[in-house]
Structure formats: C-alpha cells, structure tokens
Amino acid sequence: MRQLYHPTRDDIMLTGVLYALSDPIRLQIVVDLAGVLAGSAEQHFTEKSCGTFETIIAKSTFSHHCRVLREAGVVRNRPVGTYNFLSIRRDDLDARFPGLLNAILTAYQLGQTTHNASEKGTEIHAQPTIE
C-alpha cells in the first residue's frame, strides 16, 4: 500500500491551513472530527472512519476534500485494512499556530448559533457567520 503524504509539523503552513478550512465542506469535516455542537463550548476530538461521515457529496469529492486537509496538515489519515480513519492533528496545529484551531471552531459555533437564532426570528449579536 502506498504511503500518504503528511507534512511534518514544521512544514505545516498557515496559508495552507487557512485555504483548506476556507471551503465549507472541509470546514464541516473538521467540525465533525472536533465533535462541535452548536451552542456548546465542548469539543470532543475523535478519530472517524471516512465511511461514517454523513455527507451528500460523491465519495470521490469527499476523498478530494480529505486529501486537501491532509496535505495542508490539518488532518491525519490512518489506513487500517480497507478503512481509512481521519483525525485532527491538534497537537501539531496548536504547536505551530497556538489558539488557531480553537478560534476557528469557536467562530463556527458562534456562526451556527447566530444562523439558528436568525431562522427562529431571534436576534443574537455575535461574530459573523463563517460560510
């Protein structure tokens, strides 16, 4: 089986991370891995099998998004037999860019809370929605 490219900690670039997270589908993958729930301050970082993500995109498109995240250094892909497991490279990201991942996930949570409240007709003054 061929080895997948994962940049070393020192090779993870801020521009690559921000680019990878700028796409709503890739951001949602990271949010799912972080276990973020709208309105909750808790994050439960997990490892998930690629086949367990609830998505409406084609498998090939999902694979492309996972590759972009992996090559940017945001996630680690761990193959086990015919399965691939994804996890966030939290330690590496926090070492390279302290607080960045938490800031992005918090902004996502605030955006979801604001979006959900506006759908219900309730106004909440928070940070702009990340879309």
pLDDT of residue 124: 36
Whether the pLDDT of residue 108 is over 70: the answer is: yes
Least reliable range by pLDDT among 47-56, 60-69, 118-127 = 118-127
pTM greater than 0.85: no
Query: Which distant-in-sequence residues (6+ apart) come within 8 Å of 99 by Cβ?
Result: none
Pick from 47, 22, 21, 20: nearest CA to 33: 47
pLDDT digits (tens, 9 = 90+) for 82-97: 888 899 999 999 999 9
pLDDT of residue 91: 94
CATH of domain 9-110: 1.10.10.10
Report how far residue 13's alpha carbon sits from residue 18's, in angstroms, rounded to the nearest whole number.
9
Pick from 41, 69, 66: nearest CA to 53: 66
Domain extents in the chain: 9-110
pLDDT of residue 44: 58
Report how far residue 34's alpha carbon sits from residue 12's, in angstroms, rounded to the nearest whole number.
19
Q: Label residue 123 by pLDDT band (50, 70, 90).
A: very low
C-alpha of 101 from chain center = 9
